[in-house]
A = this chain, B = another copy of it.
Amino acid sequence: MPELARALEPRIISAAEAIREATVAAMERDERVFVMGEGATDPKGIFGTTSGLRERFGAHRVLEMPIAENGWTGMAIGAALCGQRPILIHQRVEFSLLAMEQLVNNAAKIHYVSGGRHRAPLVIRLIVGRGWGQGPAHSQSLEALFAHVPGLKVVMPSSAADAKGLLLAAVADDSPVVFIEHRWMHYASGHVDPEPRAVALDGPKRVREGDRATVVATSYMTLEALQAAEALAAAGCAVDLFDLRVLRPLDVGAITASVRKTGRLITVDTGHATYGIGAEVCARVTSAAFEDLRAAPVRIGLPEHPTPSARSLAEGYYPRSPQIAVAVGRAAGVSATVLEEVCAGLARERDAMPLDIPHPSFKGPF
């Protein structure tokens, strides 16, 4: 393929590969950047996102960590205060619960409390979300815990391109950024700019346009919502779909503008609904666009119980595109018969995929 054609050709890679690319670029660009985590150097390389880094950048920049999450989170903060720019990785968000003290009391506050003198430029990569029967302590999506804390930035990409661009921006940011990756998002593939171009951490992105309703989704749920939105659009009901992307600091300006137009708001996020991401989006947008809201906002999230391991229970646990389509369609006034057809189509698509695995390449169990 001639060079120019190749440059114009879409370059389809997975989000996991995009994360790896962003990491390589950040490390090449700035020698203060280093990577640390349990498994960062192992043969699986954290879902492939760190594969080969140690060989490329050496052991002093790609650090294998003992099982001591609080300790090495504090260590990263200390190194960041001294001018380094660590990227921390927790293979499961649950492990990072051990590091909450360091993240909430030190990382989030040290810039503020020092009157702006200290900087803690670290990126904390957390992997959330569903897996193969992982059970309740290996499958949570706890982004709301981090999003509540002033001083942290919280980012959730939903595409390969954003995974790369937002991670680059996170590494370049002088504040601590919690970068949350849904496990199934790792398999999202798409065109990714070969250049290391940061995507600003400046708020939601509209991924589909329409005027019948406003849908706000996070991370992997953006993909489910997109399927729903496309099926609805085919049935004549086009909606605005936003990928929230930056949970904190939260900017709902574009969403509010959309709701002013559509009069309806539906949120779809990856965590528990109660005291979750959708609650804030609904509360804030309701405040800002009350007069234009024509129906009560609707939230879709996980039900209020832990993740069960058994497949038969996990089935109903995770909202999928048909449920989203129903909620959105109802809000947008789509007739019951049309909605039934839309859902049937989505359900057929969904059922063609295994329930507890994200991608045919996924062989479980890890």
Contact = CB atoms under 8 A, between A and B. Distances in A.
Interface of A: 70, 94, 97-98, 100-101, 104-105, 108-109, 112-113, 135-137, 140, 142, 144-145, 147-151, 248-250, 271-272, 274-280, 282-284, 286-288, 290, 293, 295-299, 304-306, 308
Given A279-B280, A286-B296, 7 more contacts: A94-B104, A109-B136, A144-B144, A280-B283, A282-B282, A282-B283, A283-B286
A279 B145 CA distance: 14
Contacts of A298: 287
A150 B306 contact: yes
A136 B113 contact: yes
A272 B288 CA distance: 19
Contacts of A275: 144, 147-148, 248, 275, 277, 279-280
Given A148-B274, A275-B279, A97 B94 contact: no
A322 B250 CA distance: 28
A274 B250 contact: yes
A290 B147 CA distance: 27
Contacts of A272: 148-150
A283 B287 contact: no
Contacts of A283: 278-280, 282-283, 286, 297, 299
A303 to B, nearest CB: 8
A278 to B, nearest CB: 7
A78 B251 CA distance: 43
A98 B112 contact: no
A203 to B, nearest CB: 14
Given A113-B135, A297-B283, A299-B283, A150 B304 contact: yes
Contacts of A293: 290
B137 A109 contact: yes
